[in-house]
Amino acid sequence: MALDDRKLDVLRAIVEDYVATQEPVGSRALVERHSLGVSPATVRNDMAVLEEEGYIRQPHTSAGRVPTDRGYRLFVDRLSKVKPLSPAERRAIERFLVGAVDLDDVVHRAVRLLAQLTRQVAVVQYPSLARSSVRHLELVPVSTTRLLIVMITDTGRVEQRIVELPEPTSVEDVENLTRALNEKLVGSKLVDTPPLVAELAEQANLNQPAMNALAVVLLETLVERHEERITIAGTANLARFHTPLDLAGSLRPVLEALEEEVILLKLFDQVKAGSAIVRIGDENEVADLRTTSVVSTGYGPGSTVVGGLGVLGPTRMDYPANIATVRAVARYVGDLLTQH
C-alpha cells in the first residue's frame, strides 16, 4: 500500500519529536506539537499502517512509537529538509579552522570542531597518501649508512622514514639521488611512483644501483604502510546517550570498534565529495556499530577526495543538522587544503 502524504507527514513528525525528546511519541502529543489538522485517532490509524510497513515500532504495548532503521532511512531520503547552518555555527567553523598552522593542526581542529557542533563522535581521516601527489622529496644523511627520507605531498602532509643503506654512501651521491628523484617524481600521484622509481633504478648514469633498489623498497613502504591515519574525538558524547533505548544499553562494543582503525577506515569506503552518505543502524557492515548511524563525506581540494570525515552516533540523531555540519566542515577543510 502506498503511503499518502499525511502518513509521510506523520512519520516525519515522529522522527523529529523522537529525536528531540528521546522518548516514544504518542498520537496525542503528536497532534499537539505539529499542526497536522486531524485528530489523534486518525493519526493512530496512520501509525498502524506505518508500523505494518515497518517504518515505526512500539517498544511495548502501552507506549508511543519509535522510528525503525527503515523509518529513519525513508526520513533521510525523502522527508528531511536541509537544515541550513546557523550563522553562529558558520562563524564557529571559520574561526576554529582559520588559526591552523599545519596539516596536523587542521585535522585535529576539524575533528574537535565536528564533535562539538554535532555532539556526536567525530572521525576524520588524514589526507590519504595514495591519493595525493608528491610536492618535494628530501634525503637527509643521518650517518654514512642511514638516510632519512622526507616526503611532502600537495596536501601538506609530511612523511618520513629512516632507510638503512647496504653500503656507506657519500654525501654527493645522496645529493645526486635527491635531484634525480625530485625531477622524476614531483607532481605525480603517489600510487604511480613505484614504477617511476623502478625506471630510475635502471638508468645507469646514477651511481649506486643498490641504493636505487633501496629507494624502491622505501617508497613502497612509504606508500603502503602507515597508509591511512585517523583521529577521533567526542567519545564522551556517547556516554550521554547511554540509555537502554539507544545504543541498546551497551556502549562498550561501540568504544571497542572505535579503537580499531580498520573499522574506522570502512566508514569512509565510498565517500564522495559534496554529498554525504548516511548509514543507518543495520546498514553498517560492522556488527558492533549496528546500533549507530554514520554520516560521512569526502573532502579534498576542489572536488577531489583525499580523505573522509564524518560523525557517528545513536540512530536517534538529528540527521539534517549533522549532514549539514559534516558537509560544511568538509568544504572548509577542502578549501584550507587548496590554500595550502
Partner DNA sequence: ACTGGCACTCACTACAGTCGAGTGCTAGCC
Partner DNA sequence: GGCTAGCACTCGACTGTAGTGAGTGCCAGT
Rounded to a whole number of angstroms, the minimum distance from the CB of residue 250 to DNA is 17
Rounded to a whole number of angstroms, the minimum distance from the CB of residue 33 to DNA is 11
133 strand-pairing partners: 189
Rounded to a whole number of angstroms, the minimum distance from the CB of residue 281 to DNA is 21
Sequence-ordered list of residues with C-beta below 8 angstroms from that of 103, at least 6 positions apart, any chain: 126, 127, 155, 156, 157, 158, 340
Q: Which of the choices DNA, a copy of itself, none does residue 48 contact, using the CB cut-off of 5 to 8 A by kind?
A: DNA
Q: Which of the choices a copy of itself, DNA, none does residue 44 contact, using the CB cut-off of 5 to 8 A by kind?
A: DNA
Binding pattern for the stretch 146-165 against a copy of itself, x by CB under 8 A and - elsewhere: --x-x-x---x-x-xxx---
- Find the distance separating the first CA and the last CA of the chain, reported in whole Å: 54
Q: Which of the choices DNA, a copy of itself, none does residue 252 contact, using the CB cut-off of 5 to 8 A by kind?
A: a copy of itself
Q: Which is it for the CA torsion 161, 166, 172, 175, positive or negative?
A: negative
All three cell numbers of 266: 570502512
For residue 138, the tally of other CB atoms under 10 A from its CB is 14
Phi and psi of 280, rounded to 5°? -110, 120
- Residue 32: name the closest of 21, 60, 81 by CA: 21
Maximum CA extent, the chain: 88
Number of residues that bind DNA (CB under 7 A): 25
Instruction: Answer yes or no whether residue 28 interacts with DNA by CB under 7 A.
Output: yes
Binding pattern for the stretch 207-246 against a copy of itself, x by CB under 8 A and - elsewhere: --------------x---xx------xxxx-xxx-x----
CB-CB contact of 37 with 51 (8 Å): no
Within positions 44 to 83, which residues make up the interface with DNA, using CB under 7 A?
A: 44-45, 47-48, 51, 58, 60-65
Question: Interface residues with a copy of itself (CB under 8 A)?
Answer: 101-102, 104-105, 135-136, 138, 140, 142, 148, 150, 152, 156, 158, 160-162, 221, 225-226, 233-236, 238-240, 242, 250-252, 255-256, 258-259, 340
